[in-house]
Amino acid sequence: MNGDWLLRGRDGRLTVYLPSDDAVLCRAELAPGGSWEAAPRRVGGDQGLHPGHAVGQGADGYAHLVAWRPLGAGGSGLVHSTHFRPRLAPLDWTPVGHPDKKGDRTGTPAVAVDDRGRAHVFVRNKGGGVSLLAQKEKGGWNPWQDLGGEGVQDRLAAVTGESGLVELYAAVPGGLAHWRQEEPGKQPVRTEFTGACARPGTLRALATSAGHTTLYFTDEHGELCAWRPGSEPVSLITAAGPGPVSAVRCDIDGHDCTVLAQRSASGRVVFAAHPTEQERAGAWWTESGPRLPPDAQVAVALAEHDEIVAATLTPSTGTLLLTRRKAEPGLALRAWQTV
């Protein structure tokens, strides 16, 4: 999966989007903070998919999902679905094409949704650059756009800033690159480059203020770093595990904080918090929950009343665990429960 897979819908219910052998599954709360559906539902009908979907969410609460589907003669094409509310069925998968018109998969897609509800699908193309497919405001899609770039690594990080403008981060030879929309509806342009190198598959972006988004990544020395274009990357803490962090911005005891979560090398989930955009204040990991298998993934989000909620998913077993913040000072969490 690429992007957030634990989301709060516009009705306050939480939804998780789960990978399956040839499908994407979804499972939702029956009521905010309550019990969950007994079994996951298949997204988008019976269309068979390749593994590796992406999820993005707009300010309207709608979730946009993108995945590759197999076509004849070894080809593949991208498909898109919208999920308006957690308890409703997502729309059927709709073909949206290929960045090179035809061929096999070129990379894992990434999705961001602007403040007008338009999905922006980013994917690496066969030339090693980045291509963009953006929705029109009144339906349909604009033509594919080539955003340039060379040697772009897989697992792009797409994000929408508080301005409603879409941004993209990518690992490239010798460092990290950044693209940003200058105006609503315009093609993102490459604006920044930093020589800090990221380990593959560790990029995660988050809107952290009115004027900035922040990219979290693990550098070649194993340090979890934060980078905001216009400044130099800052080392925050040693990464606890090999994958990307999940991140959410929230209020903790009256302070604007960013909470990070990661599956550690020991198999347990670890959490850290720091004042938003003040990485130099420092952070430290705190372990939580049981030891998990190597394929377990972790996500953090805000629930109905903006309280922290965290989930872990183990695709090999289908096990989903959930915890919420206790109603007490600090970042104390309740016991993990199987959903």
236: amino acid identity, one letter: L
Range of the domain at 290: 240-339
In-domain check, residue 169: no
In-domain check, residue 261: yes
Confidence of residue 2 (pLDDT cuts 50, 70, 90): confident
* Residue 309 predicted with pLDDT over 90: yes
**Stretch 57-77: mean pLDDT, rounded?**
95
**Predicted confidence (pLDDT) per residue in 168-222, tens digit:** 999 999 999 999 999 998 999 999 999 999 999 999 999 999 999 999 999 999 9
| Predicted local confidence at residue 55, as pLDDT | 98
| Predicted local confidence at residue 182, as pLDDT | 94
Contact between 53 and 66 (Cβ < 8 Å): yes
In-domain check, residue 163: no
In-domain check, residue 254: yes
| Predicted local confidence at residue 144, as pLDDT | 97
**Stretch 158-172: mean pLDDT, rounded?**
97
* Residue 140 predicted with pLDDT over 90: yes
State pTM to two decimals. Answer: 0.96
Q: Please provide the average confidence, as pLDDT, over all residues in the chain.
A: 95
| Predicted local confidence at residue 72, as pLDDT | 87
| Predicted local confidence at residue 233, as pLDDT | 97
In-domain check, residue 117: no
Contact between 65 and 83 (Cβ < 8 Å): yes
**Predicted confidence (pLDDT) per residue in 99-133, tens digit:** 999 999 999 999 999 999 999 999 999 999 999 99
CA-to-CA dists, residue 196 to 216, 229, 326, angstroms? 12, 12, 37
In-domain check, residue 263: yes
pLDDT above 90 covers a percentage of the chain that reads 94
Tokens of 229: 């274009």
Domain count, the chain: 1
In-domain check, residue 177: no
In-domain check, residue 16: no
Query: For the CA atoms of 321, 324, 325, 327, what is the dihedral angle to 10 degrees?
Result: -140
